[in-house]
Amino acid sequence: MKQRKKNKSLVSENKKLLLASKKVSAQAAAVAMPEKHTYGQILKSSAIIGGSSVINIGIGMVRTKAMAVILGPTGFGLMGLYSSILDLTQSIVGMGINSSGVRQIAEAVGTGDTARIAKTAQVLRRTSIFLGLLGAVFLFGFSNRLSVLTFNNDQHASGVALLSLAVFFNIVSAGQGTLIQGMRRIADLAKMGILGALYGALISIPVVYFFHEDGVVLSIILVSLMTLLTSWWYRRKIDIPAVAISSAQVGQEQAELLTLGFAFMSSGLMMTGAAYLIRIFIVRDIGFEAAGLYQSAWTLGGLYIGLILQAMGADFYPRLTAVVNNNVECNRIVNEQAHVSLLMAGPGVIATLTFAPLAIVLFYSSKFEGAIELLRWLCLGMTLRVVSWPMGFIIVAKNAQKLFFFSELAWTCVYLGLAWLSVAEFKLNGVGIAFFGSYIFHVVMIYFIVRRLSFFRWSAANIETSFFYLSLIAIIFLSFYSLPFMLAIAVGVLGTVLSLVYSIQVLLDLISVDRLPSSVLKILQLFRLTPKGSFNNNVIEKVDEAAIDFEGKKPWITVKRLLIIFMVITSFSMWTHWYEGLYDWLEILNYFKFLCNSLLSYL
């Protein structure tokens, strides 16, 4: 009887294992399956991640506002210092496994091997738990020293020690999020972020309201705990079979995970260090007020572009890793991602250039108007960042750790060198000029690196789109130096509207209109950006291709011609205003009239 029960239990366990393996295999096949075109997937993931990021920013703003009102400047500053200790500990102890883990999971998924996926996921979970415990022990052990270093006393040592719980929760939660991202469960990733932020805000605000400064550390811990529970809830939806894994296999997998993770960690520390040194340059050469202006411009400059880059990292990175050994497929995906990213970024950058004064006053106050010109320079650099980042992911996906590290080191050195020279010459605007110049270097450097790695070449569509948008952005940027302010604003508004229509029309041309959600299609039809179709029970009937391609021309071609005419007229206007200011245009006209009158009198 006992033997029968054992056999039955073994059969039951084998069935469960087989079922789980089939589910993972199905998920892996769905992820690894090559697509004819990825434009639809890019737009979908960008909409999901971008939308969730906007919601998270909104929740964060409400939480920050509530904390600032309840705690006041002193208590809010205390929360900021505790958060800095937490972030720094996570950055160092986390060893960059969030980014390297995504690559390892995505690579395993790309093979379609269920056992390999399970082993990689198991090693990732063990490593994140180990690093979480290590970080907690480290912070607890050095709590007294960190309290003295940060607060100049040991009165906050107990609070720093309690933050060790938050370190553990955050690192383990990040490991679970890494698995979800590596499996390309983008919707779950977005929901996880929103719910974690929402639950954390709903719990932490009452804690601070009742306990004030004494509840600051507890509120941080509760936010981390809710993030962990939310990530665990979505992690458990992924069926990963339990497989036997030897200590040698664990060591090999961890070595790859931590080696690439160290490169990511080093890159993050270099960027953090560069930002720190830039602020030192500003404070020493200009003053503390200028450092505040720089912070405001930097935050606004990266707000919109950050949404695009975040969406790129969430879906594009694991998707690229899954096909990275196929150079043709890899290069095609990078070109398509870059094309879509440029079309999405262009109108946003032009809008930021145009409405920079309004954005500064709305988000901050009129006291920050000195950051307007710096914000515009930063926008130029952010545009080039959108160009270079898709190519840079090839280096990471191919696990070229040394190239990745030295490329980041080279960019950091160029950025700091240019900033040191430019701040002395151009004051605060010199930081923006240095950032723009460093990304010119970055684009060229990354392009030559990926040509060597995967024989990458820009597609004709990307060359055309890049040249078109970079020219348009340059003209809008220069108009604020050449034209009267109100005329430059009018030029910027018209450029924003036309470029937005152009980007939408091109994106609609890249994907099938009938694949769009009915709500999105109705909005586009409301603004006459797509031909009208019919709706039956929320199912969209396919729009006639003849309606889209009217008179043998696609709608975006007409808009592009309008934009070219717009750029020519704007360039001519800038030239006339420049010429008038330099040579006194009215005096030349009067002289021309005098010559004409003299000739007429002679005749």
* pLDDT tens, residue by residue, 469-485: 999 999 999 888 888 88
For CA atoms 577, 578, 579, 585, give the dihedral sign. positive
Lowest-confidence segment of 194-198, 219-223, 465-469 by average pLDDT: 194-198
Whether residue 388 contacts residue 444, with contact meaning beta carbons closer than 8 Å, is answered with no
- pLDDT value for 448: 92
Residues 175 and 278 in one domain: no
Is 12 contained in some domain? no
Q: Hey, how many other C-beta atoms are within 10 angstroms of the C-beta on 287?
A: 12
Over residues 126-140, mean pLDDT: 87
- Give Cα separations from 65 to 157, 224, 540 (angstroms): 27, 19, 42
Residue 62 above 50 pLDDT? yes
Shortest CA distance to 187 belongs to which of 13, 356, 378, 44? 44
pLDDT of res. 442: 93
Q: What is the dihedral of CA 596, 599, 601, 603, to 10 degrees?
A: -140
Is there a domain that residue 72 lies in?
Answer: yes
Instruction: Check pLDDT > 60 for residue 213.
Output: yes
Q: Please tell me the least confidently modeled range out of 18-22, 70-74, 512-516, 541-545.
A: 541-545
The one-character DSSP state at 528 is: T
Whole-angstrom Cα distance, residue 351 to residue 348? 5
Maximal CA-CA distance, the chain: 129
Please report, rounded to a whole number, the percentage of residues in the chain having pLDDT higher than 70. Answer: 77
Collect all residues with Cβ–Cβ distance below 8 Å to 199 and sequence separation of at least 6: 226, 229, 230
Q: Give the list of residues 6+ apart from residue 547 with CB closer than 8 angstroms, or none.
A: 531
Same domain, 198 and 118: yes
Instruction: Please state, in angstroms and rounded to a whole number, the distance separating the CA atoms of residues 409 and 192.
Output: 33
Lowest mean pLDDT among 154-168, 260-274, 491-505, 575-589: 575-589
In a domain, 466, yes or no: no
pLDDT, tens digit (0-9, with 9 covering 90-100), for 192-211: 878 877 877 888 888 888 88
Q: What is the pLDDT of residue 32?
A: 42
Based on the fold, state whether residues 128 and 98 are members of the same structural domain.
Answer: yes
Are residues 368 and 292 in contact, defined by beta-carbon separation less than 8 angstroms?
yes
Beta-carbon contacts of residue 310 (< 8 Å; ≥ 6 apart): 49, 50, 53
| Per-residue model confidence (pLDDT) at position 414 | 92
pLDDT at res. 556: 66
Tokens 């890019």 -> residue: 42
| Cα angle value 50/183/136 (rounded, 5°) | 85
Q: Structure tokens of 353?
A: 């250039």
Is residue 372 within 8 Å of 428, Cβ to Cβ?
A: no
Give the end of a domain, one of 197, 218, 245: 245
Q: Which residue has the higher pLDDT, 564 or 243?
A: 564
Whether residue 486 lies inside any domain: the answer is yes
User: What pLDDT is recorded for position 441?
Assistant: 94
Better pLDDT: 15 or 257: 257
Which CA distances in Å does 170 have to 138, 185, 223? 15, 20, 9
One-letter amino acid identity for 246? Answer: S
Which stretch of 201-210, 304-313, 432-441, 572-581 has the lowest confidence by average pLDDT? 572-581
- Residue 360 belongs to domain spanning: 263-456
Instruction: Kindly report, residue by residue over 4-22, the tens digit of the pLDDT.
Output: 444 444 445 444 444 444 4
User: Do residues 386 and 434 both lie within one domain?
Assistant: yes
Together in a domain, 386 and 308: yes
Tell me the Ramachandran region of residue 320: left when phi exceeds 0, alpha when psi lies from -120 to 50, beta otherwise: alpha
Q: What percent of the chain has pLDDT over 90?
A: 5
How is residue 340 written in tokens?
Answer: 């879509």
Task: Please indicate, yes or no, whether residues 186 and 331 belong to a single structural domain of this protein.
Answer: no
pLDDT at 410 over 80: yes
* Alpha-carbon span 407 to 275, nearest angstrom: 17
Backbone torsions φ then ψ of 539, nearest 5 degrees: -105, 125
144 and 199 co-located in one domain: yes
Torsion of CA 205, 210, 215, 220, to 10 degrees: -20
Q: Which residues of 229-249 are buried (b: 16+ CB within 10 A; e: fewer)?
A: ebbeebbeebebbebebeeee
How confident is residue 112, by pLDDT bands cut at 50, 70 and 90?
A: confident
The whole-number pLDDT of residue 583 equals 52
Angle, vertex CA 245, rays to CA 243 and CA 248, nearest 5 = 170
Confidence of residue 437 (pLDDT cuts 50, 70, 90): very high
Q: Check whether 315 has a pLDDT greater than 80.
A: no
Distance, CA of 202 to CA of 430 (rounded, Å): 42
Comparison of pLDDT for 236 and 555, the residue scoring more:
236
- Mean pLDDT, residues 222-238: 85
Give the angle 219-222-226 at the CA atoms, nearest 5°: 140
- What total number of domains does the chain contain? 3
Terminal CA-CA length for the chain: 129
Q: Would 333 be classed as within a structural domain? A: yes
Whether the Cβ atoms of residue 347 and residue 93 lie closer than 8 Å to each other:
no
Secondary structure class of 286 (helix, strand, coil):
coil
One domain for residues 331 and 391: yes
pLDDT level of residue 516 (50, 70, 90 thresholds): low
Q: CA-CA distance, 341 to 45, in Å (whole number)?
A: 12
Q: What is the predicted pLDDT for the residue at 178?
A: 81
Residue with tokens 């348009």: 472
Rounded to 5 degrees, φ, ψ at 493 are -65, -45
Q: What's residue 567's pLDDT?
A: 83
What's the whole-number mean pLDDT along residues 122-128? 83
Angle formed at CA 262 by CA 403 and CA 388, multiple of 5 degrees: 40
Give the Cα-Cα-Cα angle 543, 544, 548 (nearest 5 degrees): 90
Confidence tier at 426 by pLDDT (50, 70, 90): confident
Selected residue with higher pLDDT from 491 and 582 = 491
Higher pLDDT, 585 or 192: 192
**CA–CA separation, 342 vs 386, rounded Å?**
7
Residue 445 lies in a domain: yes
Question: What pLDDT is recorded for position 436?
Answer: 92
What is the SS3 assignment for 69? Answer: helix
Average pLDDT, the chain: 76
d(CA 70, CA 64): 10
- Report strand pairing: 539-540 vs 535-536: antiparallel
The overall pTM is greater than 0.95: no
The predicted structure's pLDDT at residue 102 = 75
* Contacts with 364 (C-beta within 8 Å, 6 or more apart), sequence order: 296, 371
Nearest alpha-carbon partner for 43 in 446, 512, 434, 450? 512
- Which residue is it, tokens 């509530």? 66
Domain boundary among 196, 216, 245: 245
282-298 pLDDT tens trace: 777 777 677 777 777 88
Claim to verify: residue 40 and residue 82 sit in the same structural domain = yes
Whether residue 543 is contained in a domain is answered as no
What span, in angstroms and rounded, lies between the C-alpha atoms of 428 and 430? 5
Domain finish residue from 190, 215, 245:
245
pLDDT at 237 exceeding the cut of 90: no
Q: Are 349 and 382 in contact (CB under 8 A)?
A: yes
Higher pLDDT, 503 or 200: 503
Tell me, yes or no, whether 492 and 577 share the same domain: yes
* Cα dihedral 514, 517, 520, 526 sign: positive
So what's the pLDDT on residue 77?
Answer: 64
Residue count (the chain)? 603
- Residue in the block written with tokens 């998270």: 56
Average pLDDT over residues 264-270: 77
Using pLDDT thresholds of 50, 70 and 90, give the confidence band for residue 27.
very low
174, 179, 184, 187: CA torsion to nearest 10: -50
pLDDT band at 592 (very low <50, low <70, confident <90, very high): low
Count of Cβ atoms closer than 10 Å to residue 410 Cβ: 14
Interhelix angle for 429-454 vs 401-426, to 10°? 160
Are 236 and 275 in the same domain?
Answer: no
Is residue 595, in this structure, part of any structural domain at all? yes
- pLDDT exceeds 80 at position 279: no
Of residues 371 and 8, more confidence is placed in: 371
State the Cα–Cα distance between residues 50 and 312, nearest whole angstrom.
10
> Same domain for 449 and 490?
no
Q: What is the pLDDT of residue 34?
A: 44
> Bigger pLDDT: 585 or 75?
75
